[in-house]
């Protein structure tokens, strides 16, 4: 195996770190909360490393020693209390995490035994959601496993022989999300930063400044089912914007009626956008639905501006608010309607690319 052997001599010298293979199985994915950027999950973690056969024989019974020699896996009771283990933790866990830990061993050669730490976890996990393409977004749901030991003692790696996976059938949010079968596992490191006000500890702390801890992040992917937002988001915004063009059926010499209706549609569009944004976290960028709604608001503002301009032109030129269907201002109003309708889709597409 590509894992490093653990022994008492190696722990004392710390010349070579022990390589620990990490495998994670997503047993169950619960509710994915977009607003609070967290999700529920139940997973099983397997951490494997090698030890010398002579180091493990003293803690085994005669029956377990026989089973080990014939190639069977044996359960190691209270192995972590008296023996070396990688001291794993979950980096992105929220609140109290339910854990069950047990150990097993299996002989893989004449002088080496593979120790496996089985860890069943259940709880809430934090995940930074990327919402640029909301509601047609694909989210990465990650569980990051780290070691309390520095990388000069233990290095976590994705298990090269036992790959991580996911149970797609046990998925609670199937009405809102579609879960992919593909699972990624990658290694990363976090830098150690030491802070101390005691001068006597500065010498010891300075030696830790360049030390790192290793982590393995295992991720699955879920795609949002966007049909709800297309019908209750895009479609309603589109209908509100289209309704604004019905205002041109009013005579252009009645700007007060036109502006009243246009302002009502504008406020309706703004209120609707606030309602949709309640289902999203506070983010510093615009989603696809935001860009669509904002360009529709700009169209409503431009239409209200035009109604005010054409009303002022008619009043200034004729010193009255009356007009005829075939005069120049009425034709100008109709041309402006055609211009807005022709450019509406182009403006929306260009703004959506920003």
- Specify the CATH number for the domain of residue 53: 2.70.170.10
> Domain with 288 in it: what CATH number?
1.20.58.390
Each residue's pLDDT tens digit, 169-222: 999 999 999 999 999 999 999 987 655 555 444 545 555 566 899 999 999 999
Q: What is the structure's pLDDT at 16?
A: 85
Q: What is the structure's pLDDT at 248?
A: 83
Per DSSP, the three-state class of 219 is strand
What residues does 98 pair with on adjacent strands? Answer: 122
Each residue's pLDDT tens digit, 235-282: 999 999 989 888 888 888 888 999 999 999 999 999 998 988 888 898
What residues does 53 pair with on adjacent strands? Answer: none
Q: What is the structure's pLDDT at 78?
A: 86
Q: What is the structure's pLDDT at 265?
A: 95
Q: Both 325 and 271 in a single domain?
A: yes
Total of domains in the chain: 2
Q: What is the structure's pLDDT at 194?
A: 56
Q: Both 284 and 343 in a single domain?
A: yes
Question: In the 8-state DSSP scheme, what is residue 16?
Answer: S
Domain final residue pick, 176, 193, 224: 224
Q: What is the structure's pLDDT at 9?
A: 43
Each residue's pLDDT tens digit, 78-131: 898 889 999 999 999 999 999 999 999 999 988 899 999 999 999 999 999 999
Domain span holding position 330:
227-352
Residue 134 has pLDDT above 80, yes or no: yes
60 vs 78: CA distance, rounded Å: 11
What residues does 32 pair with on adjacent strands? Answer: 39
Name the burial class of residue 84, with classes exposed (0-12), middle (13-18) and buried (19+) by CB atoms within 10 angstroms of its CB. buried
Each residue's pLDDT tens digit, 290-321: 999 999 999 999 889 988 888 888 777 765 55
Q: What is the structure's pLDDT at 191?
A: 87
**Cα–Cα nearest to 145, from 133, 137, 156, 132:** 156
Q: Both 193 and 250 in a single domain?
A: no
Q: Chain-wide mean pLDDT for the chain? A: 85
Domain final residue pick, 174, 199, 224: 224
Each residue's pLDDT tens digit, 39-62: 999 999 999 999 998 888 888 889
Contacts of 343 (CB under 8 A, 6+ apart): none
188 vs 156: CA distance, rounded Å: 9
97 vs 338: CA distance, rounded Å: 61
**pLDDT confidence band for 348 (50 / 70 / 90):** low
Q: What is the structure's pLDDT at 28?
A: 96
Q: What is the structure's pLDDT at 12?
A: 38
Q: What is the structure's pLDDT at 100?
A: 96
Q: Both 184 and 235 in a single domain?
A: no
Domain final residue pick, 224, 247, 273: 224
């Amino acid at each position: 195996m590509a894992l490093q052997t653990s022994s008492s001599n190696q722990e004392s010298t710390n010349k070579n770190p022990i390589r620990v293979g990490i495998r994670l199985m997503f047993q169950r994915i619960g509710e994915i909360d977009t607003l609070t950027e967290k999700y529920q999950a139940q997973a099983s973690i397997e951490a494997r490393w090698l030890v010398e056969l002579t180091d493990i024989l003293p803690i085994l019974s005669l029956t377990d020693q026989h089973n080990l020699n014939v190639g069977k896996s044996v359960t190691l009771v209270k192995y972590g209390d008296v023996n070396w283990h990688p001291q794993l933790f979950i980096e992105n866990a929220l609140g109290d995490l339910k854990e069950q830990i047990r150990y097993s061993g299996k002989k893989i050669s004449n002088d080496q035994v593979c120790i496996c730490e089985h860890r069943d976890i259940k709880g809430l996990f934090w995940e930074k959601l990327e919402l640029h393409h909301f509601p047609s977004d694909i989210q990465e749901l990650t569980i990051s496993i780290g070691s309390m030991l520095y990388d000069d003692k233990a290095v976590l790696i994705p298990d090269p022989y036992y790959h991580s996976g996911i149970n797609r059938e046990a998925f609670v949010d199937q009405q809102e999300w579609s879960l992919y079968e593909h699972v990624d596992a990658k290694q990363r490191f976090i830098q150690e930063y030491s802070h101390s006000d005691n001068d006597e500890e500065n010498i010891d702390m300075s030696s830790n400044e360049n030390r790192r801890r290793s982590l393995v992040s295992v991720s699955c992917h879920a795609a949002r089912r966007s049909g709800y937002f297309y019908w209750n988001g895009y479609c309603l915004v589109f209908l509100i914007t289209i309704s604004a063009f019905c205002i041109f059926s009013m005579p252009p010499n009645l700007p007060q009626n036109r502006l009243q209706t246009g302002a009502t549609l504008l406020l309706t569009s703004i209120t609707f956008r606030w309602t949709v944004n309640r289902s999203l976290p506070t983010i510093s960028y615009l989603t696809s639905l935001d860009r669509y709604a904002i360009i529709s608001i700009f169209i409503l503002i431009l239409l209200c501006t035009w109604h005010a301009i054409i009303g002022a032109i008619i009043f200034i030129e004729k010193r009255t608010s009356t007009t005829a269907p075939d005069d120049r201002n009425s034709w100008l109003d109709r041309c402006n309607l055609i211009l807005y309708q022709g450019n509406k889709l182009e403006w929306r597409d260009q703004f959506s690319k920003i």
